[in-house]
Amino acid sequence: MRALPSNVTRLLADAEALAREIPDGALLAMPPDYSPVAMEVVRALIRRGARDLRLLGVPVLGLCADLLIGAGCVVEVESSAVSLGEAGLAPRFTAAVESGALRVRDATCPAVHTALQATEKGVPFIPLRGVLGSDLLKIRSDWKTMENPFQPGDPILLVPALSPEVALFHARWVDEAGNVWIGRRKELATLAHAAQRTCVSFEELRPGDMLEDELLAPGVLTSVYVSAAAPAPRGAWPLGVGGLYPIDDAHLTRYAAAARTPEGFARYLDEFVRS
């Protein structure tokens, strides 16, 4: 595999090397199960014994979070939801919340996206509607309300900017210029713009520069925003990558059943993560 230029994205050997780029205690942002998730890096974090991670769902979390939480790698989650979708509740997340072992910062999808967009735009906060009147304001002291200065009597919510220490996701292609193809998943671009570092696992190293391709360029995240990348064929499994392989629904159902108990979850880790 040809090395990337030294002044752009660093090309690492594999998912294990990429996992070492994520320090213990980091605020780690990841996309939902329907967007390419770097599952092989998540498994590598568990094998590494990562600790005290704070997860940010952009805007929700699924299997990646449940695995990390069950393995004892996580102390806090900020997300709009954590679930396995059609496979049901995220069992290890649910158990950790019920036992008090996990801190949870409830959010909404618009609030997460807005907070990242504030950092992307270089402003300390962004106004937002839709949350006023909900109980979230009672538990999110960092969210403030004020009167619209242009329309007296019109309250507005202010959401502070959010900059994850590390953004992590999977992609179909990284090219020789270090650019990443994200296709229609534009939220990944916002996430990379807002994060202090972005780590990407990918299916295939593509020759040339995708920004020079009129068809591919609109779906490209430029290398300026990517810190490190590593090859990981089928690295999103059991989740999917559009155009390559679908979500393995049977495996998710199997995981959901196994992870209902600590013993079943431990057996799953032994078979599918640590082996």
Model pLDDT, residue 8: 67
**Across residues 5-17, what is the average pLDDT?**
82
Over pLDDT 70: what percentage of the chain? Answer: 97
Report if pTM > 0.75. Answer: yes
| pLDDT tens, residue by residue, 224-234 | 999 999 999 99
Q: Three-state secondary structure along 125-180?
A: EEEECCCCCCCHHHHCCCCEEEECCCCCCCEEEEEECCCCCEEEEEEEEEECCCCE
**Across residues 103-110, what is the average pLDDT?**
96
Contacts (Cβ under 8 Å, ≥6 apart) of 51? 24, 25, 72, 73
**How far is the C-alpha of 235 from the C-alpha of 158, rounded, in Å?**
37
**Across residues 115-142, what is the average pLDDT?**
94
**How far is the C-alpha of 231 from the C-alpha of 40, rounded, in Å?**
10
Decide if 248 contacts 216 (C-beta within 8 A). no
**Across residues 267-272, what is the average pLDDT?**
98
Decide if 97 contacts 104 (C-beta within 8 A). yes
φ, ψ dihedrals at 38, nearest 5°: -80, 70
Model pLDDT, residue 6: 44
Q: Which of 84, 78, 79 is nearest to 64 (CA)?
A: 84
Model pLDDT, residue 275: 82
φ, ψ dihedrals at 76, nearest 5°: -150, 145
Q: pLDDT at residue 2 above 50?
A: no
When pLDDT is cut at 50, 70 and 90, the band that residue 168 belongs to is very high
Model pLDDT, residue 130: 86
**Across residues 36-55, what is the average pLDDT?**
98
Model pLDDT, residue 18: 98
Model pLDDT, residue 1: 44
Q: Which of 262, 256, 238 is nearest to 96 (CA)?
A: 262
| pLDDT tens, residue by residue, 210-249 | 999 999 999 999 999 999 999 999 999 999 999 999 999 9
**How far is the C-alpha of 46 from the C-alpha of 273, rounded, in Å?**
8
Q: At what angle do helices 249-258 and 262-272 cross, to 10 degrees?
A: 140
**CATH superfamily label, 10-124+161-248:** Glutaconate Coenzyme A-transferase (3.40.1080.10)
> How much is the mean pLDDT over the chain?
95
Q: Which of 119, 61, 54 is nearest to 85 (CA)?
A: 61
Q: pLDDT at residue 7 above 50?
A: no
Three-state SS for 118? helix
Model pLDDT, residue 17: 98
When pLDDT is cut at 50, 70 and 90, the band that residue 118 belongs to is very high
Model pLDDT, residue 274: 94
Extract the tokens encoding 269: 């880790």
Q: Which amino acid is at 237?
A: W
Task: Judge residue 194's burial from the number of C-beta atoms within 10 Å of its C-beta, 0-12 exposed, 13-18 middle, 19 or more buried.
Answer: buried
| pLDDT tens, residue by residue, 139-165 | 999 999 999 999 999 999 999 999 999
Which range of 2-6, 32-36, 145-149, 266-270 scores highest in mean pLDDT? It is 266-270
Q: Which amino acid is at 58?
A: V
